[in-house]
Amino acid sequence: MTATPSPRPPPARGGGAPISSASLTRRTILAVLAAPAIARAQPAPRVIVVGGGFAGATAARFLRRLNPNIDVLLIEPNAIFTACPFSNEVIAGLRDIDAQRFIYDGLVADRIRVMQAAVTAIDPTQRSVAFGSNRLLYDRLILAPGIDIVWDALPGYDEAAANRIPHAWKAGEQTILLQRQLEAMPDGGVVVMSSPPNPYRCPPGPYERASLIAWYLKTHKPRSKLILLDAKDAFSKQKLFQEAWQQLYPGLLEWVSLSDGGKVTRIDPATNTFETDFGSHKADVANVIPPQRAGAIATAAGVADRTGWCPIDPVTFESKLQPNIHVIGDAAIAGAMPKSAFAANAQAKVCAEAVATLLAGDTPQEPKLINTCYSLAAPGHGFSVAGVYHPTGGQLTEIEGSGGTSPLDASSEQRALEAKYAEAWFKTIANETFG
């Protein structure tokens, strides 16, 4: 970025790029267009939030509520956010993709300026973000870009291959592609999935997906089979999943651990083949969940380390690599906290509080954060893992004895209740974030 900072940088084109989606109301568009020109000289401190997912949108909302005098600007490229939680249900034909879609009217009603753009550069020294030829200054930046796929991690699997073999690890077109491929597969077909090494978005997600695909096959194509190749020997809620698989999908779902040859070394997209050190698996429908890292803008901002993820201070979520930039959600290295929407929401609230406190010249207090991850092994068959986390030794650790998982051998009534809790949780978080 070559432009030098000015006390009054030009506003974004059109005062915030036009939001073209027909789903957005006139009120949204007017509110964005009516946003005042942006200038560092304003007395109100300015916080720019990059990324309007579970982490960023929640942080923007809570910051605005904590101190209405803070000038909060949310920058997000998409007019419509498509949520990942419950997208495995879409793949299994249990839910419409429209139920996953959310717009930003609720934030605009809260008087948050929502700008539709992709941030292309961040200059931590000048404290500016750039998108195209536009540039805006901030006092503090909250970065919540989620994940990107590491395209060169798995030989043979690149962006072009993903058009044929979906990852469906960012919800939207990829989710629909996988659902349609399953629908088109003849009975008796073989579905092959691969799960990556840690860390990655939603640790129990691949196993929930395998379960719900197995449910779909059992219900609609009972002569079919699912093989789940894993780069790990252990996974989240493993005993609960394996108990459910034994009960619900015997002979249909096969999990291949790392030790048993589950690590995929190459993908051949032309033949839908997964290669491992122990042999190869040809799929009628293939789903690769590839290795991931923080959204690319984190690397561009200099807040991602060699792991591809972003080290943060566990009290304020401020980057350990760049001052005045806070990183939350999947992009952050949040110690023992998993990369989940629940965690992203909790981190967003803690970060908003810390940013408001720091801008007031005070010292943020040590937080406690909660996470609960629900999974469905079949419709009406839910279970969960929960934990409470606090900062210790510069990292977020789980408080001993604070959490745990649902019991093994629970009754079908208990599993049905947990499936209901899962749905209630999603409704609540979606409403808190976008409603």
Ligand X SMILES: Cc1cc2nc3c(=O)[nH]c(=O)nc-3n(C[C@H](O)[C@H](O)[C@H](O)COP(=O)(O)OP(=O)(O)OC[C@H]3O[C@@H](n4cnc5c(N)ncnc54)[C@H](O)[C@@H]3O)c2cc1C
Binding footprint of ligand X on the chain (CB under 6 A): 50-56, 75-78, 81, 84-85, 87-88, 118-119, 144-146, 169, 201-202, 205, 209, 295, 297, 329-331, 339-342, 344, 373-374
Shortest distance in whole angstroms from residue 408 CB to ligand X: 20
Shortest distance in whole angstroms from residue 57 CB to ligand X: 8
Residue number with CB closer to ligand X (101 or 260): 101
CA 221 to chain centre: 31
Residue number with CB closer to ligand X (50 or 228): 50
Start-end of H helices in 2-53: 26-33
Residue number with CB closer to ligand X (241 or 342): 342
* Cα end-to-end distance, the chain, whole Å: 36
Please give the Cα distance from 426 to 429 (Å, whole number).
5
CA distances from 183 to 39, 285, 417 (A): 53, 10, 29
Residue number with CB closer to ligand X (310 or 356): 310
Tokens of 82: 């498509």
Residue number with CB closer to ligand X (114 or 227): 114
Q: Which residue is nearest to ligand X (CB)?
A: 53
Contact 135, 333 (CB under 8 A): no
* Strand 381-392 versus strand 121-123 pairing type: unpaired
Residue number with CB closer to ligand X (26 or 347): 347
Task: Give 43's DSSP letter.
Answer: S
Shortest distance in whole angstroms from residue 328 CB to ligand X: 7
Contact 222, 186 (CB under 8 A): no
Give one DSSP letter per residue of 65-90, joined into a string. Answer: HH-TTSEEEEEES-SSEE--TTHHHH
Q: Please, which residues have CB within 8 angstroms of residue 322's CB and are 6 or more apart in sequence?
A: 124, 301, 302, 303
Shortest distance in whole angstroms from residue 142 CB to ligand X: 11
Residue number with CB closer to ligand X (201 or 415): 201
Query: At 10, is the secondary structure helix, strand, or coil?
Result: coil
Residue number with CB closer to ligand X (142 or 278): 142
Shortest distance in whole angstroms from residue 280 CB to ligand X: 26
Please give the Cα distance from 298 to 431 (Å, whole number).
27
Residue number with CB closer to ligand X (175 or 316): 175
Tokens of 294: 């923080």
Q: What burial class does residue 140 get, using C-beta atoms within 10 Å of its C-beta: 0-12 exposed, 13-18 middle, 19+ buried?
A: buried
CA distances from 6 to 3, 14, 37, 137 (A): 9, 19, 13, 9
Shortest distance in whole angstroms from residue 413 CB to ligand X: 21
Shortest distance in whole angstroms from residue 122 CB to ligand X: 9
Residue number with CB closer to ligand X (131 or 274): 131
Give one DSSP letter per residue of 146-212, joined into a string. Answer: -EEE-TTSSTT--HHHHTTS----SSSHHHHHHHHHHHHSPTT-EEEEEEPPSS-S-TTHHHHHHHH
Find, among 207, 85, 100, 201, the residue nearest to 148 by Cα: 201
Shortest distance in whole angstroms from residue 66 CB to ligand X: 19
